[in-house]
Amino acid sequence: MPPVSEPPDAGRERETNSVYKLLLCVRYLQTRYLAFICIVSVMLGVATLIVVNAVMSGFSTKLKTRLHGILSDVVIDTERMDGFAKYDNQGRPLFDHHGQVMGLSPDEMIARIKENDALWDKIEAVSPTIEVFAILQFNFQGQRQSKPVKVIGIDPRSRTEVGGFSEYLVRQTGATAPTFDLTPQALKQHEDNKRARDWNAAPTPIAPNLPRVPMPGDIPEPDPDIMKAAMPAPELHGVIPGYSLAHFRFRNEHGQVVEEAVLKPGDDVTIVTIGGGEIKPVWGTFLVSDYMKTEMSEYDASFVYVPLHQLQAIRGMQDRCTALQIKLGNYEADKLFVTNELRKLFPYPDVRVDSWEERQGPLLSAIEVERSILNILLFMIVGVAGFSILAIFTMIVSEKYRDIGIMKSLGASNRGVMWIFVGYGLLLGAVGVALGTVLGLMITDHINQIEKFLTDLSGRALFPRDVYYFKEIPTNVAPLSVMAVNIGAVAIAVLFSLLPAWRAARLHPVRALRFE
């Protein structure tokens, strides 16, 4: 028999040897087809979580963008219908010689803010507004329509500087100085409407033209030509209604959502609201000059923008306003400082100073809570995958009793045997997570095509666009969220493999070798 060479020097550091653990993990993965059930479970759980998170995050981000978009960074507003009021040092309102509360004009408020240099430095733009509930009336197909709305009086230029206005205008999208002016087409529509109204007006019966008998002391008849010359042409005021107010959406006979403009540029609307000083109805007539399309159904269905000075005139508010919209240079860095300083400047019971997040706090919290709950519920899918790992690993450990005995007879430690199965769980989890991440990202990337395919297949709209006003399902893949899902799924795979691995490690080698 030929001699065999000596074995290489085998200096042992027993707890750092991983070769056999890795080799067996990989071989078990390649040969145990039961393991693919674990991989598929983890993969589906991870993919679902990634898709749902991406869609929820997409909705949330888009909603936040929209919510912030139309709101300024910081808002100062008052509960008073007649606008901001002046107060003395004791916090009591000041009255003029008519017994009326003295108003605080936007210029006076801005001047007060400017006195605080540190505060003013952080403010980029300010715009006064009036916000009040109202009834919007207009004619549609010969019938008078009335809708409850929120009328917002703005100065379009300064409101644009604050942000969240011109970017949502349909005709003047992104204009640096949008106006309420009517286009020639709108003016033509206005003239056409007038003619149509005159045409449709029923002819009044004309009394027989009897010669008038002059009476003593009669006021002489006015000269019609002089009357016409002295009368100024009526001023036309523009109005910008929300897109959904001006457009009706309905399903046609084929079940398709169709949209019809009920207020065209140049159409006139009447806005009825209450006076600023006294509780009495006031109204004004405006002509549609543009639309506001924020894709936020609540805003688009209830907001109506009119010129600030005109709303002040109608409501008898002179130069007062009910809110100051403020844009900050660096919102995230300065929001706390600015709101605190403004609260110190206007510490009145009817004045509120809020950042846009505070103003929308309940809605933003609701979205976050919804997302968290959904995540917890969906993570149970991965939990189910974990239980399938537990069940399958228990079976595999039972199958591998003898192998465990062999390894122990060859010098493998209990811990080494345990790590084979924990490593196996880790490997299954990692492969499942990798495949699930790829699948989840692919589904997220093609979610609109998938939705369209499923809608065509089932004949039911999975994502009704008339509800959400989004053209597409919004998605936002947050790398941190994907990473958290990955780590969580791998951790669950490892966690659920611990018990079978521990059982394997505790197995007595002699009993294992005798196992049939």
**Residues at the contact surface with another protein, assessed by CB under 8 A:** 1-14, 16-20, 23-24, 27-28, 30-31, 402-403, 405-414, 416, 508-510, 513
What gap in Å lies between CA 330 and CA 336, rounded to an integer? 11
Shortest distance, position 31 Cβ to another protein, whole Å: 5
Q: Which is nearer to another protein, 281 or 411 (CB)?
A: 411
Encoding tokens for residue 503?
A: 């059982």
Q: Which is nearer to another protein, 197 or 511 (CB)?
A: 511
Shortest distance, position 508 Cβ to another protein, whole Å: 8
Q: Which is nearer to another protein, 15 or 370 (CB)?
A: 15
Q: Which is nearer to another protein, 7 or 222 (CB)?
A: 7
Shortest distance, position 63 Cβ to another protein, whole Å: 51
Name beta bridge partners: 328.
123
CB atoms < 10 A from the CB of 216, how many?
Answer: 4
Q: Which is nearer to another protein, 11 or 142 (CB)?
A: 11
Q: Which is nearer to another protein, 23 or 170 (CB)?
A: 23
Q: What is the dihedral of CA 278, 284, 289, 293, to 10 degrees?
A: 40
Name beta bridge partners: 307.
154
Shortest distance, position 420 Cβ to another protein, whole Å: 11
Quote the strand ranges of 155-277, DSSP E: 238-241, 247-251, 257-261, 268-274
Q: Which is nearer to another protein, 277 or 509 (CB)?
A: 509
Q: Which is nearer to another protein, 414 or 448 (CB)?
A: 414
Cβ contacts of 230 within 8 Å, gap of 6 or more: none
Shortest distance, position 419 Cβ to another protein, whole Å: 12
Task: Tell me the residue length of the chain.
Answer: 516
Shortest distance, position 30 Cβ to another protein, whole Å: 8
Q: Which is nearer to another protein, 2 or 91 (CB)?
A: 2
Shortest distance, position 3 Cβ to another protein, whole Å: 7
Report yes or no: 135 and 146 within 8 Å, Cβ to Cβ.
yes
What gap in Å lies between CA 190 and CA 170, rounded to an integer? 19
**What residue spans of 201-307 are helical by DSSP H?**
224-230, 243-246, 297-300
Q: DSSP labels for 452-467?
A: HHHHHHHSS-SS-HHH
Shortest distance, position 490 Cβ to another protein, whole Å: 22
Shortest distance, position 516 Cβ to another protein, whole Å: 9
What gap in Å lies between CA 415 and CA 393, rounded to an integer? 17
Cβ contacts of 331 within 8 Å, gap of 6 or more: 73, 355
Q: Which is nearer to another protein, 7 or 255 (CB)?
A: 7
* Phi, psi (rounded to 5 degrees) for 380: -65, -25
What gap in Å lies between CA 337 and CA 291, rounded to an integer? 36
Encoding tokens for residue 464?
A: 């009704």
Q: DSSP labels for 445-510?
A: HTHHHHHHHHHHHHSS-SS-HHHH--SS------HHHHHHHHHHHHHHHHHHHHHHHHHHHHS-HH
What gap in Å lies between CA 54 and CA 500, rounded to an integer? 34
Shortest distance, position 388 Cβ to another protein, whole Å: 22
* Phi, psi (rounded to 5 degrees) for 272: -110, 125
